[in-house]
Structure 1
Amino acid sequence: MDKDGKMRFGADSDSEITRGFCSCLVWMLDGAAPEEVLELKTEDLASLNVGLPRGGERSRVNTWHNVLISMQKRTKMLMAERDGKAPFQPFPSLVVTAGGIHAKGSYAEAQ
């Protein structure tokens, strides 16, 4: 999120197809208001006619969905940070921070 409250995105992938999907989503959402990013649904991307399940091929649709969901999660986190709120509850048994991965709870510790 930039100083004006607009979302800024960048993405990359080893896969050329995924890199292309990421580039399209970044092109569409970079500079958008956070609310606009959160309003976008996977179904809104159907008109792009990419990866629609024709021959049982669902992986392309999943790529759009997964990249969009990741962008929206990051947006929610930055909005919460901007508003002085906790971004979200971490996964109950695994906490990932810049300092590493830490087990939380007896189940995770036993693993």
Structure 2
Amino acid sequence: MTIQEQQEDIVSDFEYLGNWDDKYEYIIQLGKELPLIEDKYKTDDNLIRGCQSRVWLHVDYIDGKLEFTADSDAVITKGLISLVIKVLSGHTPKEIAEAEITFIDAIGLSSHLSPTRSNGLLSMVKQIKLYAVGYMAKSVKQ
């Protein structure tokens, strides 16, 4: 599934949910289903800067694609990183770096999150894109 198709799936899921209480419950559920990051990756180097909560993000480069795992100490934030990983994990660095992330605005997250949580979500996307650019640069050097 492409990044755009993943985003469309998320938008469709959120359209099905009625009110924001249901949507938050869904985000929390996604966080609970997020495969846990290994404890050895819960280091300061893997913390995402700009998040009010602690969010750890680890990347593996497997067969030309980036695979992300993450965790957070806050349930909503864990659900948010789960959404971002659902969209971007399993794609090439080039696909990730060039992707336009539209689902955040399309489902109304920007207007329903606190400013600090919204900034944290943007920091998560930014960090994943930075990893992608870094892996693109590595592959050019090789």
- For the aligned pair, the TM-score class normalised by the smaller chain equals 0.5 to 0.7
Report the RMSD for the aligned CA atoms in angstroms.
2.2
What is the aligned partner in structure 2 of residue 11 from structure 1?
A: 70
Residue from 87, 105, 115 that aligns with 1:46: 105
Which has more helix, going by share of residues? 2
* Structure 1, unaligned runs of 5 or more: 86-111
Q: AA paired with 1:40?
A: A
Once the two structures are TM-superposed, the CA of residue 62 in structure 1 deviates from its matched residue by 1.0
* Structure 2, unaligned runs of 5 or more: 1-60
SS at match of 1:76: helix
TM-score of the superposition, structure 1-length normalised? 0.62
Once the two structures are TM-superposed, the CA of residue 11 in structure 1 deviates from its matched residue by 1.1
Percent of residue pairs identical: 24
TM-score of the superposition, structure 2-length normalised? 0.50
What number of residue pairs does the alignment pair up? 82
Bigger Rg, which one: 1
Indicate whether 1:22 and 2:81 are aligned: yes
Indicate whether 1:2 and 2:62 are aligned: yes
Which has more strand, going by share of residues? 2
**Which structure 2 residues correspond to residues 1-111 of structure 1 after superposition, within 5 A?**
1-3=61-63, 5-41=64-100, 43-52=102-111, 57-84=114-141
Higher relative contact order (CA 8 A, sep 6+): 2
Deviation per CA, 1:40-90, whole angstroms, max 9, x where unpaired?
345552112224168xx32232122100000011111112112227xxxxx
